[in-house]
């Protein structure tokens, strides 16, 4: 596995996306959303919108500049996290 792919995998794991999806039912129950299906539809709609935004950005800007920018932002977030 190349260095870039390894770093991208680590950043994805460290981003917490999986944790958000895992705990989303508890979060929706905490804010009193009673319907699990409504919560599932809301999560799916938000994910679909951001996938579309990501696809459009990738087409316009390219993968490399987006990867470099997101890596720099993630690095800064780790450095300035308190």
pLDDT tens, position by position, 17-70: 777 778 888 888 898 888 878 888 888 899 899 999 999 999 999 999 998 998
Q: What is the pLDDT of residue 57?
A: 93
The CA distance from 20 to 43, in Å, is: 10
Sign of the CA dihedral with 34 first, then 17, 72, and 76 last: positive
| pLDDT above 90 (res 82) | no
Give the pTM: 0.60
Q: What is the pLDDT of residue 1?
A: 58
| pLDDT above 90 (res 2) | no
The CA distance from 65 to 20, in Å, is: 26
């Amino acid at each position: 596995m190349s260095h870039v792919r390894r770093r991208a995998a680590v950043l994805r794991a460290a981003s917490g996306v999986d944790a958000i999806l895992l705990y989303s039912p508890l979060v929706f129950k905490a804010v009193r959303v009673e319907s699990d299906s409504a919560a599932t539809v809301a999560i799916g709609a938000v994910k679909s919108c951001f996938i579309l935004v990501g696809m459009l950005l990738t087409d316009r800007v390219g993968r490399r500049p987006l990867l470099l920018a997101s890596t720099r932002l993630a690095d800064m977030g780790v450095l300035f996290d308190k």
